[in-house]
Structure 1
């Protein structure tokens, strides 16, 4: 894989407050450049949600209502997030979740394309009994010594997802081959279905 041929790509991860639909409590973005995470341009935001964080959500990511009480509300940082994301490709694990949350909170924003590392892992490593991010970390053993925070925090998960993506990408000869496998149907960047034959 020649990583220099990749378009601008940002790994994203969001954490929510546990409600349906979710309010964002953390957003992290990690650009990938020249085949490695660019930690110098990574960004993250903690967000005070309009509705309280549920106890179950707090147990997962460790963010409590008390911790978030002094953080800005989403409308104060939405412009920063939109600018940082631009219209680059995004990648996420189980990308439908992050894509839906971001587009719901950033009306009018659309990435150039969406890579799902869960979909990519299932196609690339079909023998694994599980393709959760935890299972892929255990199997691929990426070097996460520079990752910030801990598992289920957005900054950590973007770092882990970026390394998983870069490792799995080595199985594909080109960006086009990668995206044909990794972009879920119906999301930006998905291959157009072949047109049905017609009479002229």
Structure 2
């Protein structure tokens, strides 16, 4: 049995411009080291193509909000540094990983833990497994700063970090966390990306 706190994790969340394929508008990373959630880092970036109106309806970011922001290429090294942990966590991870791998050609994610799949297995019987539903069910936003809002990268990464800690505590050890079972359907950001 390996204690899950022996591994250093990073939780990542991205928000997109609504184009197909999606481009980054915002990315956030939250470390979990020794079982303790660290301080988030985030970047707003100007995408190559404009933000679609329906993406703005979800995360609230407009083209004007990112007009003076750097391109992703400008912050890429900082993002890579923030993601340089032995394990990566995301809710509905394939969505975030797809965008990141397209933006960082050649980057291969480390071991990945998907809180959507973990939640389905470790806390069965929930009304739903979208991040917002789990945040509500477990009070994961309690005590977060008022300036953070759902569907923004920092908020989503922080509540996903809290969700992971809750799930990891239920799993008891790293091996049980690693025995993730594929989830069925239910993408988190179908309209966003």
Q: Which has the larger radius of gyration?
A: 1
Query: Does the Cα contact within 8 Å between 1:78 and 1:106 map onto a contact in 2?
Result: yes
The more displaced of 153-162 and 174-183 is 174-183
Q: Given the alignment of the two structures, is residue 53 of structure 1 paired with residue 54 of structure 2, yes or no?
A: no
SS in 2 for 1:181: coil
SS in 2 for 1:111: coil
User: Which residue of structure 2 aligns with residue 170 of structure 1?
Assistant: 169
Aligned ranges 1:20-99 → 2 under 5 Å? 20-39=20-39, 42-99=40-97
Label 1:162 to 1:182 Cα distance change in 2 as closer, same or farther (>3 A): farther
Instruction: Please report how far the alpha carbon of residue 37 of structure 1 lies from its aligned counterpart in structure 2 after TM superposition.
Output: 1.0
Q: 1:97-140, CA deviations, whole angstroms, 9 ceiling, x for partnerless residues?
A: 01111111111112221110000111112211310111111111
- Give ranges in structure 1 of 5+ residues lacking alignment: 185-200
Query: Does the Cα contact within 8 Å between 2:11 and 2:31 map onto a contact in 1?
Result: yes
Q: Given the alignment of the two structures, is residue 181 of structure 1 paired with residue 180 of structure 2, yes or no?
A: yes
User: TM-score, normalized by length of structure 1?
Assistant: 0.85
Query: Does the Cα contact within 8 Å between 2:9 and 2:85 map onto a contact in 1?
Result: no
User: Which residue of structure 2 aligns with residue 188 of structure 1?
Assistant: none
SS in 2 for 1:114: strand
- Give ranges in structure 2 of 5+ residues lacking alignment: 184-193
Size of the aligned set, in residue pairs, is: 181
Q: 1:165-192, CA deviations, whole angstroms, 9 ceiling, x for partnerless residues?
A: 11111221311111112688xxxxxxxx
Instruction: Please report how far the alpha carbon of residue 144 of structure 1 lies from its aligned counterpart in structure 2 after TM superposition.
Output: 3.5
Aligned equivalents of 2:79, 2:138: Cα separation in 1: 30
Aligned ranges 1:78-157 → 2 under 5 Å? 78-147=76-145, 149-157=148-156
Aligned equivalents of 2:5, 2:57: Cα separation in 1: 40
Whose relative contact order is higher, 1 or 2, with alpha carbons under 8 Å and at least 6 apart? 2
Moved >3 Å (runs of 4+): 1-4
Aligned equivalents of 2:158, 2:182: Cα separation in 1: 20
